[in-house]
Amino acid sequence: ATPMALMVGTGRGAALGILIKGPEVLESTRRVDTVVLDKTGTITEGRMSLVDVHPAAGEEADEVLRLAGAVEDASEHPIARAITAAARARSGRPLPPVEEFANDEGLGVHGTVEGHAVLVGRPRLLADWSVAMPAGLAEAKSDAEARGHTVVAVAWDGAARGLLAVADTVKEGSAEAVAGLRALGLTPVLLTGDAEQPARAVASEVGIDAERVVAEVMPADKDEVIARLQAEGKVVAMIGDGVNDAAALARADLGLSLGTGTDVAIEAGDLTLVRGDLRAAVDAIRLSRRTLSTIK
Ligand code: ADP
Ligand code: MG
């Protein structure tokens, strides 16, 4: 009777917009006590928009945006798309081509544009390249982060040229989903490569405790955060959408990928939330508990 009841549960999952890799997945779903959620593209839409440009002293805002947009044109990252779209809209001309483009996963991008060696990414990236952050920009950075914006630094030819502030919107249903997870007795955790302040702003918007925010985690280290929780005896579900979430999805006791996410993430998950709606994760856990209790 057991396999039959599990199959019924799986079929019901499909109706709820949940794809389950195999019936055995329901068993690990039932045991989960901690749910780790990626921020960008999972809790939020992942469709960033540019909200501000802060040029460094002596620089032109439009030029900072134009060169940053040219490099980001070669990247698929949601931040890159926002910057490129704004740069195009603002300059009204095609962006110049980028040569020697390179992507530092979880940090940013660099390349040569009109003979300038341009760097665009996390402010931390500047230090890695021995580029100093002028005091005026450091202040603009704190102000923007306090407002929950993600700050991207732009540098070329060895000097910081400005900051771009981008913002993302929380998906409809994310707060409801977090409340639903709590109602099931689960602990929600937010995991992101983004900075502490924008991470906390999103956490507070959806109802995740500030002490359950794990920010500034490099893509390669996301799965170690899962392993650490498991070492504390937690049974961990991970929900994510990106290439940078794949290892964490695989490491988790239960990996939930978003149908709206990348193929690599979907491949790594045990269960897919077809429409990318986090409320389906709550349905999945509820369903697994119900299905397995009918078996007993
Ligand atoms: P998340 O974990 O929220 O999905 P990522 O690991 O993809 O975020 O990126 C972490 C951080 O690295 C971003 O918040 C951003 O500051 C920076 N970053 C990554 N890629 C880019 C890019 N193409 N352009 C600018 N910044 C980037
Ligand atoms: Mg993501």
ipTM of the assembly? 0.93
Atom of ligand 1 nearest to the CA of 122: 16
Q: 75 CB less than 6 Å from ligand 1?
A: yes
Q: End of a domain among 167, 188, 207? A: 167
Residues 193 and 156 in one domain: no
The first and second tokens of residue 295, run together, are: 């078996």
Q: Measuring from atom 16 of ligand 1, which residue has the nearest CA?
A: 122
Cα 20–Cα 172–Cα 247 angle in degrees, nearest 5: 45
Q: Rounded distance, CA 200 to CA 4, Å?
A: 44
Picking from 206, 271, 266, 203, the residue whose alpha carbon sits closest to that of residue 28 is 271
Q: End of a domain among 147, 167, 187? A: 167
The best mutation among 47, 122, 154, 258 to test binding of ligand 1, ranked by most ligand atoms within 8 Å of the C-beta, falls on 122
Q: End of a domain among 144, 167, 190? A: 167
| Beta strands 34-38; 236-240: pairing state | parallel
Residues 36 and 181 in one domain: yes
The domain total for the chain is 2
Q: Measuring from atom 20 of ligand 1, which residue has the nearest CA?
A: 108
Tell me if residue 38 is catalytic: yes
Q: Residue-wise over 25-46: b if at least 16 C-beta within 10 A, else e?
A: bbebbbebebbbbbbbbbbbbb
Q: 79 CB less than 6 Å from ligand 1?
A: yes
Owning domain of residue 274:
2-45+170-295
pLDDT in tens, the chain (296 residues): 344 445 555 667 777 788 888 878 888 888 999 999 999 999 999 889 999 999 999 999 999 999 999 999 999 898 999 999 999 999 988 999 999 999 998 899 999 999 999 999 999 999 999 999 999 999 999 999 988 899 999 999 999 999 999 999 999 999 999 999 999 999 999 999 999 999 999 999 999 999 999 999 999 999 999 999 999 999 999 999 988 999 999 999 999 999 988 899 999 999 999 999 999 999 988 888 887 665 54
Q: 40 CB less than 6 Å from ligand 1?
A: yes
Residues 158 and 180 in one domain: no
DSSP string, 261-294: S-HHHHHH-SEEETT--THHHHHHHHHHHHHHHH
Using CA atoms of 63, 65, 71, 72 in order, give the dihedral in degrees to the nearest 10: -170
